[in-house]
Amino acid sequence: MSRRRLALALLVAAVPALSLALAQNPGPFNERDVKKQPNVQDSENTWVLDFRFKDPRLLSVDIPGRGRRVVWYLWYQVINNTGEPRNFIPDFELVTTDRNRVTVHHDKIIPKAQEAIRRLEDPTGYLDIKNSVTIATVAIPVSKPEATPRAVTGVAIWDDVFEEEKPGEKLKEPDPTHFSIFVSGLSNGWSKVDAKDGQGEVVRRKTLQLNFKRISDRNHLDADVKFMSPAEWIYRAMPAPEKDKEDKDK
């Protein structure tokens, strides 16, 4: 066999492996892009920001007043292709979905954790990673169709997903392995539907749902977190106001 034919044969054999590698690595640094998707509940004026994220990671951080904690975080970028500047006022809700156990966690502002994440994800400070408060202070700039996207980078942090360990006591529940992250604020999409019991209306907000599966337990912080494709745009019922909740509990 000539050298040219041998090289061609090796190239053909390598194509399937290369294709598989590209499929398993969706982008540089494991970044995943989520584009807007229409929904029957959208109005003609509904706009949606594009979202880019890395699979969630865990990090051990010494938090003042609380000691060493394991925090979960989601690195993300917001890109505005709507044609007008838009404010992103985010709400990140992490919901564990393991069998017989559902817990809800809202992201928190933890400066010590944010600094540790910055050193890991953006050591030069070029991305200027923001939290859920600072990212809302300035409108997301418009990206032009033929230009490099003007992404704004942020991080959502949770520190209460794992049950807190107490000396001499066994954990009551196993560590969560299946969870969803709901991202609100990426769209102005809202809808109202009549409640099933005929009492008032249910308000729903266009929300991005990302589903994940985590392998291993809290003792393996570098364990893989697998994204369970696809990302979903849903209209999600908003929680009842605190006053309504108190009334229902009486």
Mean pLDDT, rounded, for 162-178 = 70
pLDDT of 17 over the 70 cut: no
Supply the pLDDT for residue 202.
Answer: 85
Mean pLDDT, rounded, for 130-141 = 97
Q: What percent of the chain has pLDDT over 90?
A: 55
Average pLDDT of the chain, as a whole number = 82
pLDDT of 79 over the 90 cut: yes
Supply the pLDDT for residue 229.
Answer: 92
Of 8 and 229, more confident: 229
Per-domain boundaries in the chain: 27-164+174-237
Please give the CATH number for the structural domain made up of 27-164+174-237.
2.60.40
* Mean pLDDT lowest among 1-5, 44-48, 174-178: 1-5
**For the residues of 56-112, what is the DSSP string, one character each?**
-EEEEEEETTTEEEEEEEEEEEEEB-SSS-B----EEEEEE--TT--EEEE----HH
Q: What is the pLDDT of residues 44-77, one digit of tens each?
A: 999 999 999 999 999 999 988 888 888 999 999 9
